Structure 1
Amino acid sequence: MLWRSRRAAILVAGLVAFGLACAAYSLNRRSHAAAELEEAGRTLHRLISQRVDQHDAHLTSLSALVQAAEPAPIATVEQVAASIVRFYPRIVGIDVVDLALSPPRSLLDVADPAVVTEEARQAAGSNLRTRALDGGARLLLVKRALTDGVGHYALALVIDMARLSASDTPLPEGAAVHLRLIEPGQASDPPASAFSAEIASRTQPLRLTLTTSAPDWPLPPLAFLALAGLLVALAMFLVDRLLEARNVAREAARKAGLAEQDARLAHAGRVNAMGELASGIAHELTQPLTAILSQAQAARRLLAQPEADQAVLAGAFEAIARNARRAGDILGRLRAWISKSEPVVETVDLTELAGEVVHLLAANAQGIGATLRVSGDGSRSLVRADRVQLEQVVFNLVRNGLEAVEGRDGERSVTIKVGTQGGDAVLAVRDSGPGLSPEAQARLFEPFFTTKPAGLGLGLALCVRLVERFDGTLAAENAAEGGAVFSVRLPRSAENQREAAE
């Protein structure tokens, strides 16, 4: 469950990183496009400023030419105007209007004399007047030539606004140029995403605006999306592997700490149980020692006879040796039980192990008038575990069963049933005691929980740890016919599974 939550968090972080990468790309492209538009606008602004200065120069030159003689040399003016129009295509027409005539008349037949006259009469002195024509597509420039102190001639330039705002260098993709005359009182707020600036001219109040049709947040191309997705996926994989390695290391350290703690608890449990084992060991040793003593006395009597039966004598000595070995095995089990040794994993026969526990606790069972026995289904139950630790688990369960039946009326019995179920070997310890209460059943394997007045509550918790160390489980329930059943389930050894298959 934890690894799913971790990978879900990594996936969310990866999606966020991918989104941020796309947003960063779009922001960068937006900033780059804005910078390009700004640079193109400033370049075009300088170019148009130079062009409008040329308009002032043309009108000044023409004004001087008109003032050279009276009447004005119209033929010469016409020649100069044709030359200007030819070299400056944005100037589509030049005209001279005689204001002294009634009505005023155009001398070059280019501009509307009425419009030129209206603008010229509003001009103060030789100031320049501007007027938008054809909805802003053309610009009319009007200036009076003061030949007689009054100025009865008006000069007019007709400018093509599209050619005036034409750029000599390519504009950014999607950019559009807008050049218009600033009318008095007219709002001139440009769009937020456009370049806008007034032309630096005292005589021609124009505003240049560059807009773009490009989206405010351009979408990244497929190549960028594929590369970003690949890098994010690789980063997610590496982060997942690093976190997995860290979790594995932490889990290994935790298990090592638990194993060390279990070893200390197991050693303490074995030492504490030594007193209880002493009576069982004494009972076990009494039988072989008594047999050795009786057989030795019989052998001595046989040797005292003149003609001793050698076969009987050899049988007595064999019985002495066999009982001595049995006593040595009992002491060896006791030494292994209380020694603080590292786990030694080997193949263990559960039926044989149950029989050894019965021998150890036979005196305890006899002392309380209980029956202790082993039953099986006839199959071999072989598992891979540490014999001493597994024997301690079974010993604790059987001892708890004997304590449960102690002082009970009626039958007092503890049965160790060994068998197999599928690929598992099962050892169940059933007693005829009062069974488990609901509260005890819910907290049975919690450390320091106990129902015994002098108990520590560590026995069953330790048993669970030891069984889980060998990939097994320990469960408890109430039997239908009364009493409690504790079941140890361990994987059968590979050898045992092959035997079962054959």
Structure 2
Amino acid sequence: MMRSRRAAILVAGFVAFGLACAAYSLNRRSHAAAELEEAGRTLHRLISQRVDQHDAHLTSLSALVQAADPAPVATVEQVAASIIRFYPRIVGIDVVDLALSPPRSLLNAADPAMVAAEAGQAVGSNLRTRALDGGNRLLLVKRALTDGVGHYALALVIDMARLSASDTPLPDGTQAQLRLIEQGRTASEPESAFSAEIASRTQPLRLTLATSAPDWPLPPPAFLALAVVLVALAALLVDRLLEARIAAREAARKAVLAEQDARLAHAGRVNAMGELASGIAHELTQPLTAILGQAQAGRRVLAQPEPDPATLAGAFEAIARNARRAGDILGRLRAWISKSEPVVETVDLTELANEVVQLLSANAQGIGATLRVGGDGSRPLVQADRVQLEQVVFNLARNGLEAVEGRNGERAVTIEIGTQGRDAVLAVSDSGPGLSPEAQARLFEPFFTTKPAGLGLGLALCARLVERFDGVITGENAAGGGAIFSVRLPRVASEARQEAAE
């Protein structure tokens, strides 16, 4: 489950990293598109102003040419030189005399035949445009009318690269292209990031901006490193939160199970009270009878003329000893049936087994059975709740007595105490009929019982209590007949044994 959770977190981390990179690229792309759009609109306005200046220059030159006949060539040449000096994009200005054959250039800045051809197609004083040098330059032609007759044609040669040059730097990787829109010809539109026609009636131009930047820019290394760190921290935080949540759920589940175990143990102890009634009555009868006998003996001694102090002291000592014994029996019974929290302490298994034998001695005598404690004399110590562990041994021993009740032959139940390695072993064996295959398969299953009036909670409760103290309980048929139930618990170290002895 942990591997699956962490694999899911890892996949989610990769997805988050990819989304972060995609968001960065989308943001950069949107920013670059907006920046390019703004640069294109700014350059478009600038070129529109420039082409309007071309119209103004041609109008001024036309007025100068019309001022006299013949045209004042020297004056026109001076004005043309001044325009070219202040407007570097205008690389040539010429005046062509259309009345001569062939037409003659007055300033030798353009091809007179080409200028005459364009002027011949002009209607009235309309301006004609023509691309030169494969579109690198633009020729503007305007007829200057004198007395209604166009004897002269004015020509401007424009450098398209300078005309489309921006006063502010364009975005990185961006190139501006300005071309003439020729009527009657449709050219395929190149793929561009920005395209718009110049708002000019006399100069049909189209501005396009193309960029070599990638459509989806890759994030820089610094961003990638930061994203990796943030995603890793987020994944670690999510893993820790999920782990804490799972731990909290597990703790809550264990708390519920512990509460259920406590209720089950309490119910089992109360249920066992009915079966313990006869044994408890027998246990209490013995010390009470002894107290009564010693008290009567003391009264007889006191009735004598000269009572013997030693005899009286012995009677009083016997009364006190049996009273303490009765009190211990009642105290142990009250603790055993009370619904209290486990109190872990060092427990001597041999001593605990002997106490269980005392509790069940009346039951054993009533059915003619023998109940004894045996072992290798090691007296192992374990860490457990004494009352709960006593309940386990009591349930196992009582089950053994019920198994031998009514049997022909020997009726014996033995509690063997010993050690195996670092474990203490308590085994309860009986000379009963043993376990059926069905019972052996479902021994510790809650509510499974082979007794007519049983609840099926005894062995299930024993298993829970033993597991609470890191132990294991098993049940099987003994080789010589009958059943044997073994409880294995971790032993206390020798230092703990010494401290307990001290």
TM bracket (short chain): 0.7 to 0.9
Mapped partners of 1:238, 1:454: distance in 2: 55
Deviation of 1:404 after TM superposition, in Å, equals 4.3
Deviation of 1:275 after TM superposition, in Å, equals 1.0
Q: Is the 8 A contact 2:368 2:411 kept in 1?
A: yes
Tell me the amino acid that sits aligned with residue 165 of structure 1: S
Q: Is the 8 A contact 2:434 2:478 kept in 1?
A: no
- CA offset digits 1:246-285 (Å, max 9, x no partner): 4444444444443333333222221110011122223434
Q: Who is 2:358 aligned against? A: 359
Q: Who is 1:72 aligned against? A: 71
Do the aligned partners of residues 233 and 267 (structure 1) sit closer, same or farther apart at CA in structure 2, a change above 3 Å counting? same
Deviation of 1:406 after TM superposition, in Å, equals 4.7
Mapped partners of 1:436, 1:112: distance in 2: 124
Trace 1:46-57 onto structure 2 (pairs within 5 A).
46-57=45-56
Mapped partners of 2:251, 2:146: distance in 1: 106
Deviation of 1:49 after TM superposition, in Å, equals 1.0
Deviation of 1:495 after TM superposition, in Å, equals 5.8
Q: Is the 8 A contact 1:190 1:196 kept in 2?
A: no
Q: Who is 1:159 aligned against? A: 158
Point out where structure 1 has 5 or more consecutive residues left out of the alignment: none
Matched, 1:86 2:85: yes
Q: Who is 1:59 aligned against? A: 58
Do the aligned partners of residues 163 and 316 (structure 1) sit closer, same or farther apart at CA in structure 2, a change above 3 Å counting? same
Q: Who is 2:124 aligned against? A: 125
Q: Is the 8 A contact 2:178 2:206 kept in 1?
A: yes
Q: Who is 1:263 aligned against? A: 262
Q: Is the 8 A contact 1:381 1:496 kept in 2?
A: no
Matched, 1:274 2:273: yes
- CA offset digits 1:71-96 (Å, max 9, x no partner): 33333222222221111111111223
Mapped partners of 2:52, 2:444: distance in 1: 98
Tell me the amino acid that sits aligned with residue 186 of structure 1: T
Secondary structure of the equivalent of 1:456? coil
Matched, 1:222 2:234: no
Mapped partners of 1:376, 1:80: distance in 2: 132
- CA offset digits 1:86-116 (Å, max 9, x no partner): 1111111122333444443433332233433
Do the aligned partners of residues 375 and 198 (structure 1) sit closer, same or farther apart at CA in structure 2, a change above 3 Å counting? farther
- CA offset digits 1:25-71 (Å, max 9, x no partner): 22222222222212211111111111111111112222222232333
Secondary structure of the equivalent of 1:204? coil
Q: Who is 2:186 aligned against? A: 186
Trace 1:100-499 onto structure 2 (pairs within 5 A).
100-147=99-146, 149-184=148-183, 185-187=185-187, 189=189, 191=191, 194-289=193-288, 318=317, 321-368=320-367, 370-406=369-405, 413-431=412-430, 440=439, 443-470=442-469, 472-479=470-477, 481=479, 484-493=483-492
Mapped partners of 2:85, 2:304: distance in 1: 159
Tell me the amino acid that sits aligned with residue 162 of structure 1: A
Q: Is the 8 A contact 2:58 2:154 kept in 1?
A: yes
Q: Is the 8 A contact 1:283 1:363 kept in 2?
A: yes
Mapped partners of 2:248, 2:338: distance in 1: 30
Q: Is the 8 A contact 2:98 2:116 kept in 1?
A: yes
Mapped partners of 1:102, 1:38: distance in 2: 51
Secondary structure of the equivalent of 2:125? coil
Q: Is the 8 A contact 1:285 1:330 kept in 2?
A: yes
Q: Is the 8 A contact 2:478 2:484 kept in 1?
A: no
TM-score of the superposition, structure 1-length normalised?
A: 0.84
Secondary structure of the equivalent of 1:70? coil
Deviation of 1:7 after TM superposition, in Å, equals 4.2
Bigger Cα displacement from structure 2, 222-231 vs 432-441: 432-441
Q: Who is 1:26 aligned against? A: 25
Matched, 1:35 2:8: no
Secondary structure of the equivalent of 1:265? helix
Do the aligned partners of residues 106 and 250 (structure 1) sit closer, same or farther apart at CA in structure 2, a change above 3 Å counting? same
Tell me the amino acid that sits aligned with residue 418 of structure 2: G
Mapped partners of 1:189, 1:115: distance in 2: 28
- CA offset digits 1:393-414 (Å, max 9, x no partner): 2222333344445556776554
Q: Is the 8 A contact 1:441 1:476 kept in 2?
A: no
Secondary structure of the equivalent of 1:166? coil
Do the aligned partners of residues 183 and 491 (structure 1) sit closer, same or farther apart at CA in structure 2, a change above 3 Å counting? farther
Q: Is the 8 A contact 1:136 1:181 kept in 2?
A: yes
Mapped partners of 2:256, 2:9: distance in 1: 29
Mapped partners of 1:219, 1:331: distance in 2: 83
Deviation of 1:152 after TM superposition, in Å, equals 4.1
- CA offset digits 1:137-165 (Å, max 9, x no partner): 22222222233535243322221111111
TM-score of the superposition, structure 2-length normalised?
A: 0.84
Deviation of 1:295 after TM superposition, in Å, equals 6.4
Do the aligned partners of residues 496 and 397 (structure 1) sit closer, same or farther apart at CA in structure 2, a change above 3 Å counting? farther
Mapped partners of 1:489, 1:143: distance in 2: 116
- CA offset digits 1:263-320 (Å, max 9, x no partner): 3322222111001112222343455456556667777888899999987886666555
Deviation of 1:452 after TM superposition, in Å, equals 3.7
Secondary structure of the equivalent of 1:156? strand
Q: Is the 8 A contact 1:344 1:385 kept in 2?
A: yes
Do the aligned partners of residues 219 and 121 (structure 1) sit closer, same or farther apart at CA in structure 2, a change above 3 Å counting? same
Mapped partners of 2:172, 2:21: distance in 1: 21
Q: Is the 8 A contact 1:351 1:418 kept in 2?
A: yes
Secondary structure of the equivalent of 1:151? strand
Mapped partners of 2:452, 2:16: distance in 1: 60
CA RMSD of aligned residues (A): 3.6
Q: Is the 8 A contact 2:51 2:203 kept in 1?
A: yes
